[in-house]
Amino acid sequence: MSGRAEATTVITVRFTVFGGVSARVGGTTTEFGPTRLGALLGVLLVDAGRVVSADDLVERVLGEEPPPRARAMMRTWLTRLRQTLPGLVERDGAGYVLRVEPLEVDLHLFRHLVRSGRTADAVRLADAELLSTVDTPWARQLRAGFSDELLAARLDHADARLVRGEHAALVPELRALAAGRPLDERIAAQLIEALHGSGRAAEALRHFEVVRARLAAELGAEPSRHLTALHRRLQAASAPRQLPAAPKPFTGRAVELAELDQAPNGVVVITGTGGVGKTSLAVHWAHRAAERFPDGQLYVNLHGFGPSGAAVSPGDALLRFLAALDVPRAKVPHDLAGQSALLRDALADKRVLMLLDNATDAAQVEPLLPRTPHSHVVITSRTELKPAHAKTLPLGLLPPDDARELLAARIGHDRARAEPDAVDTVVRRCARLPLALAVAGARAATQPEFPLAALADELADLDAFADDDDVTADLRSVFSHSCKALSADALRLFRLLGLMPGSDIGLAGAASLAGLPVARTGSLLGELATANLLDEPDPGRFTCHDLLRDYAAELALEGERDEALHRLLDHLALTGVEAGVAFTPTRHRPDTPRPAEGVVVTTFGSREEALAWLVTEHPTLMAAMAHGTPEQTWLIGWALADVLDRQWHHRDLLTSQQLAVAALERLDDTDGLGRTLINLGRAFGRLDRLDEAAAALRRAFDVYEGNPAGQAAALLNIAMLCPDDRITEAIEHTRRGLALYEECGDLYGQANALTGLAWGHIKIGAHRRAVEYAERVMPMWQAMEHVIGEGETWDNLGTAYLGLGEHGKAAEAYARSCALFRRGGDLPLEAAACDRLGDAHAAAGDAGQARRAWRRAIDLRSQAGLPADLVRAKLLRLQAEG
């Protein structure tokens, strides 16, 4: 729980009506229990200090149809109560009064605390049902009225906790309240705030849509102005803001900025030579124009002119954009055309700016173009891309005055004014290229005591663009000048950074590349950043312009290249294994070699840390596989297999496993080859290439000869490929897999196989046999504390019982599976189980329970971003029949 700890208030209460009725007098507590005497005291305590008539006492204690001698009975109980609590119960006219201070009664103290704003103390006080031992119409009505008081206090308290920032801690409580009161807009607003404040913006916005749909369907109403305003505010706050930091300083380009300002929504392509400032112009303008695009700004560096293998594929860029727009993975198709169409749908009514930086050709950008009325795309490229209906904006060299201003902004205007000739020389020798001016300016800024003329003379005496074609020579001259000022270790690190296979690198990766301690490497990276030879776009991630990296690679010494690259790939492979194990602890850890000297191997304390590393390093790991030794390549493929599958990067999953298989074919590692062939089969299956999937899995089975657990895993994966018309074949593969798992004593494998057999027998209508398999596997999952496995087994039991016509057992089983999937945090599985729970209640003739289960299923499917039309159709049929 976040926020400040609440102060604990010590409350002295002499009388209670929450839970059982009790009285504490003189240090002695009397519990009255479910007695008439307790009921009488409870009635008087509710109206402490006020007269209650004799008739009201009879009705409240004995009900609306009291026995004939009710008044006499009441007098007897009053006498006994006076004896128990001497001096407190008095006769007053035609009634009786309990002479106590109201704040000595927990109910009245509760109300006082609420009025005083001490809702935390009030809610803690009302921790049991009001007058729980009294069951008369009056008591029931009193409890119903008080439940609204208590709810209001809880919601007041929730408001206070939201102000204190306790969003994540509030989500479970508010979700439970919302499930019980789905049309309560105050609860809905608080849950939306809590979800958004705990980093679950997509869930927050989807819950608003759920509430809006339910209000329309059940009340024919729209959300209140408060809820609608909250939705608009959170929508704006949740919009993706992916632009890199605005370049500082930025000067000039007034003509080009005006053209960008005046261009209508569509596509603009900024073209020009490397280092001319295309990205700086695009990013500067994008920040300036951001208010025109309140629904967000999307950015991707496509690395079209980076090292081989570093270019971002259209599919990967689409997945990044869809994730930024909170499109659930379950809705994302496998094919590029489907993903492109989904992006258009997601942006259909949004005003979004998209910046596609460093594109290589039209084929790379065309699938990313939304072509929607309110979206606007800016592309930068060294080539003249010509997407349909795009405006081209050529970018030439900085005008001389702008180039001088850019250099002056970096070295200081006073210094520039003092040496105007030297400024002109530097500008000329930097070819008026912003990249070269930035590097040269950084060099000058680090040596303010040097005359600028001396620094200008250090540059090669080249007349930039004398023949309009020697930009690279000018840049190398400037880069060489800046490198001369580096320390020996920083220059060595700069040379080695040219070898990195991806577009950026982490601190541990850079340390491994250099073979230096992490702290020392961090200092050297800082020196390179100060010299403007390196950028740190995100904390701990370092990159540099591809022209700088090309230059660095040219400087790398022959004797240091191979060892440095091997150390970096060792870091990626071995850290990847650590991340893979932390991400999926049930996977069998592969054998790994000792790291080379100087390699940093990072370990992870949680699944979330491992996932963050794998996602960040995904492009680098993919690029690295082509450069590694066979052992490094297959270990990287192993590390990527699960995360690429779960993140829906199925094309990269296929590529990585194909490379890993090719590497393992050069190694004597049958276990590694077998498990990688299973991953390859899974990748083919995800892409609906079923024949190739089956071939890979059959080969895995053959490779695993003599390894029963490996062959069993291959058989279970083959079974999952079987369509519905080949279920008996799937059952036979699973049965053979179970026998092999039993042979080698693999309990986890046995549980998977038994669960598969229960499901398979359900599919062929053998429900009694399915129950037997489910009951056999249930204690195994429970012993392993495998929540999802246990949930799937209860789900299978529910379906089997439903098939047998045992509707009560089916409903109970589905209810258990719902609870387990909720514990496991799997919304799609919980939604499916709730849907089937509704089926079971409907089959049993309980329309009310069916309606509740189906509504819950619709809510969950909406939260997960899944279609709910089929469940809604069931609700409509039920309403029509009722």
Whether cis (ω within 30° of 0) applies to the bond prior to 247 is: no
Residues in the chain: 882
Q: Does residue 184 contact residue 219 with C-beta atoms inside 8 Å? A: no
Element (H, E) at 201: helix 201-219
Measured CA angle at 758 (ends 757, 761), to 5 deg:
80
Residues 6+ apart with CB under 8 A from 456: 422, 425, 426, 429
Coil, strand, or helix at residue 259? Answer: helix
Mean pLDDT of successive 10-residue stretches along the chain, which has 882 residues: 41 74 78 84 88 87 82 86 83 85 89 89 87 86 88 90 86 84 89 84 81 82 86 76 85 90 91 84 92 90 72 87 80 85 89 92 90 91 81 87 87 87 83 80 78 72 39 64 83 91 90 94 90 81 81 83 94 96 86 93 90 91 93 96 85 93 93 94 91 94 93 93 90 95 92 95 94 95 90 96 94 93 80 93 90 86 76 83 68
Other Cβ atoms less than 10 A from the Cβ of 71: the count is: 13
Structure confidence at residue 473 (pLDDT) = 53
**d(Cα 567, Cα 209) in Å, to the nearest integer?**
51
Q: Does residue 362 contact residue 387 with C-beta atoms inside 8 Å? A: yes
**d(Cα 437, Cα 444) in Å, to the nearest integer?**
10
Among all chains, which residue has been given the structure tokens 């490397």?
Answer: 274
Coil, strand, or helix at residue 377? Answer: strand
Other Cβ atoms less than 10 A from the Cβ of 206: the count is: 21
Structure confidence at residue 8 (pLDDT) = 44
**d(Cα 733, Cα 755) in Å, to the nearest integer?**
13
Coil, strand, or helix at residue 429? Answer: helix
**d(Cα 358, Cα 379) in Å, to the nearest integer?**
7
Strand order in the sheet with 353-359: 297-301, 353-359, 376-381, 267-271, 391-394
Structure confidence at residue 26 (pLDDT) = 66
Beta strands in 244-303 (DSSP E): 267-271, 297-301
Beta strands in 708-748 (DSSP E): none
Q: What is the DSSP string of 400-438?
A: HHHHHHHHHHHH-HHHHHH-HHHHHHHHHHTTT-HHHHH
CA distances from 856 to 293, 424, 559, 875 (A): 36, 72, 65, 11
Residue 609 structure tokens: 């840390």
Residue 741 structure tokens: 């798992």
CA distances from 175 to 169, 183, 763 (A): 11, 13, 34
From 486, 438, 430, 502, select the one nearest 459 (Cα to Cα).
430
For β-strands 376-381 and 95-98, DSSP reports them as: unpaired
Q: Does residue 396 contact residue 276 with C-beta atoms inside 8 Å? A: yes
CA distances from 561 to 13, 490, 504, 524, 555 (A): 78, 16, 18, 19, 10
Element (H, E) at 543: strand 541-543
First to last CA, the chain: 45
Provide the residue type at 445 as one letter: A
Whether cis (ω within 30° of 0) applies to the bond prior to 595 is: no
**d(Cα 490, Cα 526) in Å, to the nearest integer?**
9
From 436, 423, 495, 424, select the one nearest 471 (Cα to Cα).
436
Sign of dihedral through CA atoms 339, 697, 643, 310? negative
Q: Which residues pair with 355 in a beta bridge?
A: 299, 378
Task: Give backbone dihedrals phi and psi of 450, rounded to 5 degrees, phi first.
Answer: -85, 140
